Amino acid sequence: MQGAGVSAERFDHFMARANAAYYANRKFGQDFITSPEITQVFGELLGAWAKIVWQMAGAPEDIILAEAGPGRGLLMEDALRVWPTRKVHFIETSPALRAEQASRVPYAQWHDNLASIPSGPMILLANEFLDTLPVRQFIRRESGWMERYVEHGAYVELPADYNLPDDPVGSVREVNEAALAFVRTLSARGAIGLFIDYGPSESAAGESVQAIRNCAYADPLTAPGEADLTAHVDFAALKRAVHAQGPIKQNHFLTALGLYQRSDRLAQRHPEKAMDLRLSVQRLTAPEAMGSLFKVLAVCPPGLPPLPGFE
């Protein structure tokens, strides 16, 4: 449909508003499960990764360990078991999630955005954070590129003033300006950021926005605030924007960090958990599960040697 009215809302604005309402009002994990909830080993490996990177950077005493989109705080709780640093900062806007995070990391400091974290050396972890940031959507018509808006629960289109490839008619392109701004801000302050999320290694046309409500796929435009809206991360675009290592597949990254060995040691100490640990490893690494779909990208200053897992 073409011809947006005065009440039309650009799709990325709609997605941002819907997700803000969702995370403020829904119980985290109600509609999905993330890697830190699958096994404690995931967070422990990221804690070990951060500690080694800190040592590679000269072990600055004033290092900040931050996390963007920390969910229920499980990842950081597990990471601190390996590297018990005390300067922990969370980027989180949901009051309900902040309260749950505080129950696990009570001495953390909270921020609405990256810009308010104090200056100084920082390592930032972000698992399934970028995929929740809002994307602009464009669709190629005979007359050229159109941008999608939302009005009365339906898409409407307006001519797009945006530089996009000359794709075939009917093609859809998504641009995540919020993700690009986030990694550029992180890079500009000289910090190191580890991003784990799902999406292709190379930029490609296609619509990837999906909504999950009550553990099932739903219409993204229906009942905003009641579904989790996500989009595939364009890792190639992020790497063009900043200096980074990767992206590599999650199974390669976790295997290089010692996922199997650490899980085996934990199973030996807790035999009653052995089967669950084996299943969690399979879920994190199997190509048909999360192993290939999820990618890992490290934003870092130029001149650093390959970071752990990226060798």
**Token pair belonging to 99:** 């309260």
Residue spans of the domains in the chain: they are 9-258+294-299
Would strands 294-299 and 244-249 be described as parallel, antiparallel, or unpaired?
antiparallel
Alpha-helix residue ranges (DSSP H) falling in the chain = 11-25, 35-38, 40-56, 74-82, 95-104, 177-188, 235-241, 250-257, 259-269, 274-285
Which positions ≥6 away from 270 have C-beta within 8 Å? none
Rg for the chain, CA atoms, rounded: 20
pLDDT digits (tens, 9 = 90+) for 110-143: 999 999 999 999 999 999 999 999 999 999 999 9
- In order along its 311 residues, the chain shows pLDDT tens digits of 555 566 899 999 999 999 999 988 765 656 778 999 999 999 999 999 999 999 999 999 999 999 999 999 999 999 999 999 999 999 999 999 999 999 999 999 999 999 999 999 999 999 999 999 999 999 999 999 999 999 999 999 999 999 999 999 999 999 999 999 999 999 999 999 999 999 988 888 899 999 999 889 999 999 999 999 999 999 999 999 999 999 999 999 999 999 999 999 999 999 999 999 999 999 999 998 899 999 999 999 999 999 999 99
Q: Is 89 helix (H, G, I), strand (E, B) or coil?
A: strand
pTM for the full predicted model: 0.94
Question: pLDDT tens across 53-96, in order?
Answer: 999 999 999 999 999 999 999 999 999 999 999 999 999 999 99
Q: What is the DSSP letter of 165?
A: -
Q: Which CATH number is 9-258+294-299's, of 3.40.50.620, 3.40.50.200, 3.40.630.10, 3.40.50.12710?
A: 3.40.50.12710
Q: How far is CA 6 from CA 10, 202, 223, in A?
A: 11, 36, 21
**How many other C-beta atoms are found inside a 10 Å radius of the C-beta of residue 258?**
17
Nearest Cα to 59, choosing from 123, 119, 104? 123
